[in-house]
A and B are shown apart, each in its own frame.
Chain A
Amino acid sequence: GAVVSQHPSRVICKSGTSVKIECRSLDFQATTMFWYRQFPKQSLMLMATSNEGSKATYEQGVEKDKFLINHASLTLSTLTVTSAHPEDSSFYICSAQRGGGHYEQYFGPGTRLTVT
């Protein structure tokens, strides 16, 4: 099956600092990657859609200047949480979708961000 990895799996940072999360598709090329956020006991909420080589499309209410997304290659997308605050503490999950008529999304294991 298709494997998606995320790094780091857990990160603790101080308020005001920036954190970068990587999402990699290990055995396939992902034309599209998605970033989700999940607060405790809630469902996944889509933050943005990232297409390789173009700017990400952000969902309503998600600040693009705070959550920087880069999809520089067909196997790597990064999410940078800038000037993190405690309310940004959450479970961040990426998914990757193959092109060529395949539309299943394969999810990474998630990154637990805690901002102190």
Chain B
Amino acid sequence: DAKTTQPTSMDCAEGRAANLPCNHSTISGNEYVYWYRQIHSQGPQYIIHGLKNNETNEMASLIITEDRKSSTLILPHATLRDTAVYYCIVRPPTGTASKLTFGTGTRLQVTL
């Protein structure tokens, strides 16, 4: 699976947009970009995923560059409850290789 690189930690003021970058320069053409987050001592929570086009749901937006070598997860109005470790994962679409490989993620701290 393609590897991802994320900053170790980021801070964001409550109410502001949190932009979390991810580099995946070795991504293959059929691999998806997935984002999960893990709040302390809980199981990971699915946020969003995409292949080529930008995606938006009730939680976040995912912006994927045209060359697909990087992406940005945007939390439009961060709250204290968004404090968590955010994982960017590149994943093949089907089969047994669809397992998720978690990297170290970005620890997002939302502050007042």
A interface residues, Cβ below 8 angstroms from B:
4, 6, 34, 36, 43-46, 49, 57, 91, 93, 95, 97, 103-110, 112
Contact = CB atoms under 8 A, between A and B. Distances in A.
Q: How large is the interface on B (under 10, 10 to 19, 20 to 34, 35 or more residues)?
A: 20 to 34
Given A95-B100, A104-B49, 17 more contacts: A34-B99, A34-B100, A43-B87, A43-B104, A46-B100, A46-B101, A49-B96, A91-B41, A103-B91, A103-B93, A103-B98, A107-B44, A107-B45, A107-B46, A108-B43, A110-B42, A112-B41
A105 B35 CA distance: 11
Interface of A is mostly: strand
Contacts of B102: 36, 43-45
B43 A107 contact: yes
Interface of B: 36, 38, 41-46, 49, 87, 91, 93-94, 96, 98-105
B104 A104 contact: no
A110 to B, nearest CB: 5
Contacts of A95: 43-44, 100
A16 B93 CA distance: 41
Contact of A49 (B43, B49, B87, B99): B99
Nearest to A59: B99
B85 to A, nearest CB: 8
16 contacts: A4-B43, A6-B43, A34-B99, A43-B102, A43-B103, A43-B104, A44-B102, A45-B102, A95-B44, A103-B93, A103-B94, A105-B46, A106-B46, A108-B43, A109-B42, A112-B41
